[in-house]
Amino acid sequence: MTQFSETELTEAVIRSFDDTPNARAKFLLQELVKSLHDYVSKTGLTFEEWDYAIDFLTRTGQKCTHTRQEFILLSDVLGVSMLVDAINHRKPDGATESTVLGPFYAEGAPDLPHGSDIAHGGPGEPTEVSGRVLTPEGKPIKGAVLDVWQTAANALYSTQDPKQDRFNMRGRFRTDDKGAFHFRTVKPVSYPVPTDGPVGKVLNAMGRHPMRPAHIHFIVSAPGFEPVATHLFVNGDPYLDSDVVFAVKNSLVVDFKPKPGAKTLAISYDFGLKPAA
């Protein structure tokens, strides 16, 4: 008779998944058991710590709403989101690097004509954003969609701030025959991730700051190409080297420069899309 002792328990649990019909599911579950049991053994986890972990995960789920995903935030601050992204989005030369989607994306942003102001004249440093969407070989992609969002000048996304319209600082733009796009906004600002939930308590307990460097989010897509979720970061931001979610990549850092003869800043960036497999 099998004795589920400390030395035999892990192998018994792993064997319990031997008849899993889906090979990938079997592999994932067995590796998860190995890693979890190894963690418990290496750390000598106490009952009090185990109870706290269960309570923490429970509170994390309870904090989630239709506009806030605390588990994504947890994944982000532990670096898991960026590791999964890195493994799944290895890019050829000429294709834009991806980064975290983040917990504040909102589906259904309006389609806007070129030159539209997603800030609607709101406070902040006026900024013009332009560029192209290209193949890795540099050919323009007509009709590519850029789904754009960012915080307002008060460092809050529209889904965090009941005083903002749901789609404030958000919009969708389509490239023209030359693969070009152009819209107006305000210069993004650094902001803290939410710290009023379980993830914030972890950051505070570990002495980690909650700050993200200023950036604009993009999801760029086109038929026949792999979509890319990415950011454009503000060069010179003090948090570029210590982003709380580890999402900064050098190729995504851009200069927000004064536009000659105008009271506005300007950036230009060409996105590259990888052909779909």
The DSSP result for 177-223, as a single string, is TTSEEEEEEE----EEPP-SSHHHHHHHHHT---EE--EEEEEEE-T
In this prediction, residues 81-85 reach a mean pLDDT of 92
Phi, psi of 220 (to 5 degrees): -110, 130
Distance CA 148, CA 217 (A): 6
Residue 273 · residue 226 · CB < 8 Å: yes
| Per-residue pLDDT band at 204 (split at 50, 70, 90) | very high
Give 261 or 142, the one with higher predicted confidence: 142
Q: What percentage of the chain has pLDDT greater than the value 70?
A: 99
**pLDDT, tens only, 150-167:** 999 999 999 999 999 999
pLDDT of residue 82: 92
pLDDT of residue 67: 81
Query: Which whole-number Å values give the CA distances from 141 to 43, 46, 60, 182, 184, in the listed order?
Result: 52, 57, 41, 15, 21
On the question of pLDDT at 195 being above 90, the answer is yes
| Per-residue pLDDT band at 146 (split at 50, 70, 90) | very high
**pLDDT, tens only, 40-62:** 999 999 999 999 999 999 999 99
Distance CA 117, CA 128 (A): 9
- The overall pTM is greater than 0.75: yes
Which range is most confident: 5-19, 85-99, 190-204? 190-204
In this prediction, residues 83-92 reach a mean pLDDT of 83
Task: Among 63-67, 170-174, 240-244, name the one with the lowest average pLDDT.
Answer: 63-67
pLDDT of residue 2: 60
Distance CA 139, CA 136 (A): 8
pLDDT of residue 277: 80
| Per-residue pLDDT band at 1 (split at 50, 70, 90) | low
**pLDDT, tens only, 21-37:** 999 999 999 999 999 99
**pLDDT, tens only, 111-132:** 999 999 999 999 999 999 999 9
On the question of pLDDT at 208 being above 80, the answer is yes
pLDDT of residue 3: 66
Phi, psi of 239 (to 5 degrees): -105, 10
Give the count of beta carbons closer than 10 Å to the beta carbon of residue 65. 9
**What is the distance between the terminal CA atoms of the chain, rounded to a whole angstrom?**
51
User: Mean pLDDT in the chain?
Assistant: 94
